[in-house]
Amino acid sequence: MARDIRKSHYRFIVIFMLFLCGISISLTLWTVQSARIIHAQQTYTEIYSIKKMFLKNTVQNMVRNIERMRIFHQRSGEIYRDRLYQDIERIYSYNPNHFASRAIGILSLSPYGDSLSICLSDDSTHSVLFQHGDPPGLLAKHRSFGKYTLSILINPQWVEERTKTAIHDIIHEQDYENGGYIWVNEIINWEGGPNYAIRLIHPNVKDSEGIFLSTETRDIAGNTPYKTELEGVRNQGEIFFSYFFKHPDTNAVSQKITYATLYMDYNWIIAMGFYLDDVQVYVDGIQKASTELTTKSIFITILSNCLLFIFAFFVLSRREHRTFSRTKREITEQSNIDSLTGAYNRRVGMLFLEAAFVSFHESQQSPTIFMLDIDDFKSINDEWGHPSGDEVLRKIVRSIQDHMRLSDRLIRWGGEEFLLLCPDLTPSASRMVGDKIREAVMNTQIIIPTGEEIHVTVSIGIGYFNEKDSQPDEAINRSDKALYAAKAAGKNCVRV
């Protein structure tokens, strides 16, 4: 009888323990599953937001590239015009009596092609002796040589054509991950309808460049993406929208999110998108890793008691949280790095400066703010081309980083200008660090794409925070002034 009671008691304890374990496992499975869903949703949302920010920044950078290209070609035209004036001035100063015939000869053989509209006239007879291109008109630059007037106009059409050709080549050469690309549509009719625009640049479907587009076109879901795009940029100047389009890697039609903005000077809509399938693939990979980790944790829980099971679940939850945080941090860090040089970009650089400024007001210890500028960088681009200039920027950043501490921060401030933030340096040590970096850059061997070896120098200005400063920009301005002093002193030097 007692044995039967003990057996029943043990049976009850075993069944009760199994019941508790079952409840614990069920609750754990439900909790983990909910956490995985929330984790996946949060990850998707974060990646989606970062991707949208990347689209907008990339397209706006392309808009800035267009402006830079227009300025570059306008300045090229100015250089051609001034060179031609110099040639004509030499002819006139050498022999004014034979000026007309010799000037016509020079102008006829001008190597500047369609970049300039030229007109040489005789003011005494009001006759045109030579004309190339359309009449220069009132916008031209005029210069008199005795009774003769030479009028030269930089051809606006040449500037725009060269700019558009350069942008076309840049967009086709760019390579983004997961099949990303930029495309351009030129608007003909802002009211929409058939043939409202021309597909001007489209790296994904190159054969379709030049075809007419219609706002009545629908994707497989019945959306009218061209109409949505046109109305968005017409009303707000920019728009985010989604539609279905062919994926460049798989040729399958997939949904994509797109950012489009208007460049009014050319009637261009410049756009870029990413496929939502790519985001889901990334999320699925995270879920797979999370599932494997969950399975191991459950197996450990079954072999242990309920307390160990609860502890294991706690560890799992913390680990998943760290995985999510690390993923988010890695994505955020990638968006903070200048893609060309590997230095921090200016946006995150301002955050470093603001944090240092707050710390300065708490501790009264200012970090050293070095402002560095590559000497005569424009001449490198002009003589060897922009790929060589890019290689110079990369080499210089690596050289500076080789002489930095872990606590230092190198920021690409703009173009060939960099800001180096170094905490815990005395004024004398700051000067030594500046000279060491200057010498390191000067001794850096740079092999440009043409195979030639070149050397460059940097000018460095040093500044500090001041108790009277109300914002970090005031210290940056002092560093800038010191940099200008270094430039004025002959470059390749350090000034405080």
The pLDDT tens digits of the residues spanning 58-85 come to 999 999 999 999 999 999 999 999 999 9
Nearest-CA neighbor of 336 among 99, 53, 131?
Answer: 53
Is-contact 47 283, C-beta < 8 A? yes
H-helix segments, 126-270: 156-173, 225-236
- Identify whether 29 is part of a domain: yes
Is-contact 106 94, C-beta < 8 A? no
- Kindly state the average pLDDT of the residues 444-455: 91
Whether the pLDDT of residue 372 is over 60: the answer is yes
Instruction: Specify the pLDDT at position 46.
Output: 81
Over the stretch 104-122, which tens digit does the pLDDT of each residue have?
Answer: 999 998 888 789 999 999 9
Nearest-CA neighbor of 63 among 182, 181, 162, 149?
Answer: 182
Instruction: Specify the pLDDT at position 311.
Output: 72
Residues 373 and 407 both lie in one domain: yes
Token readout for 54 is 């990347």
Residue ending a domain, choose from 264, 279, 294: 279
Give Cβ neighbours of residue 280 (< 8 Å, ≥ 6 apart): 44
- Kindly state the average pLDDT of the residues 184-210: 93
Token readout for 306 is 């309920």
Residues 146 and 220 both lie in one domain: yes
Over the stretch 327-361, which tens digit does the pLDDT of each residue have?
Answer: 445 545 557 899 999 999 999 999 999 999 999 99
Whether the pLDDT of residue 283 is over 70: the answer is no
Residues 273 and 305 both lie in one domain: no
Q: Are strands 253-263 and 238-246 parallel, antiparallel or unpaired?
A: antiparallel
CATH of the domain at 184: 3.30.450.20
Going by pLDDT thresholds of 50, 70 and 90, the confidence category of residue 462 is very high
H-helix segments, 142-200: 156-173
Residues 270 and 291 both lie in one domain: no
Residues 263 and 402 both lie in one domain: no
- Kindly state the average pLDDT of the residues 300-312: 66
Going by the DSSP 8-state scheme, the letter that residue 337 receives in this structure is B
- Identify whether 230 is part of a domain: yes
Percent of the chain predicted with pLDDT > 90: 64
Nearest-CA neighbor of 185 among 169, 199, 165?
Answer: 199
Cα–Cα distance for residue pair 323/319, rounded to 1 Å: 6
Is-contact 65 81, C-beta < 8 A? no
Q: Mean pLDDT across the chain, nearest whole number?
A: 86
Over the stretch 379-405, which tens digit does the pLDDT of each residue have?
Answer: 999 999 999 999 999 999 999 999 999
- Identify whether 472 is part of a domain: yes
Going by pLDDT thresholds of 50, 70 and 90, the confidence category of residue 53 is very high
Residues 27 and 144 both lie in one domain: no
Residues 236 and 220 both lie in one domain: yes
Query: Where are any strands of DSSP class E within 114-252?
Result: 116-122, 127-132, 141-145, 148-154, 181-187, 197-201, 212-213, 238-246
- Identify whether 335 is part of a domain: no
> Higher model confidence: residue 243 or residue 36?
243
Is-contact 171 62, C-beta < 8 A? yes
Residue ending a domain, choose from 279, 297, 321: 279
Residues 97 and 211 both lie in one domain: yes
- Identify whether 334 is part of a domain: no
Residues 96 and 29 both lie in one domain: no
Whether the pLDDT of residue 247 is over 60: the answer is yes
Nearest-CA neighbor of 254 among 182, 180, 193, 177?
Answer: 180
Whether the pLDDT of residue 326 is over 70: the answer is no
Instruction: Specify the pLDDT at position 327.
Output: 44
Instruction: Specify the pLDDT at position 15.
Output: 83
Instruction: Specify the pLDDT at position 166.
Output: 94
Instruction: Specify the pLDDT at position 310.
Output: 66
**Number of folded domains that form the chain:** 3
Q: Are strands 458-463 and 368-374 parallel, antiparallel or unpaired?
A: antiparallel
Cα–Cα distance for residue pair 185/232, rounded to 1 Å: 14
Going by pLDDT thresholds of 50, 70 and 90, the confidence category of residue 275 is confident
- Identify whether 175 is part of a domain: yes
Token readout for 112 is 């500047």
- Identify whether 70 is part of a domain: yes
Q: In what order do the strands lie in the sheet containing 127-132?
A: 127-132, 116-122, 148-154, 141-145
- Identify whether 399 is part of a domain: yes
Whether the pLDDT of residue 456 is over 90: the answer is yes
| Residue length of the chain | 496
User: Which of 7-11, 153-157, 288-292, 399-403 is the least confident region?
Assistant: 7-11
Residues 70 and 214 both lie in one domain: yes
Residues 261 and 324 both lie in one domain: no
Range of the domain at 110: 43-279
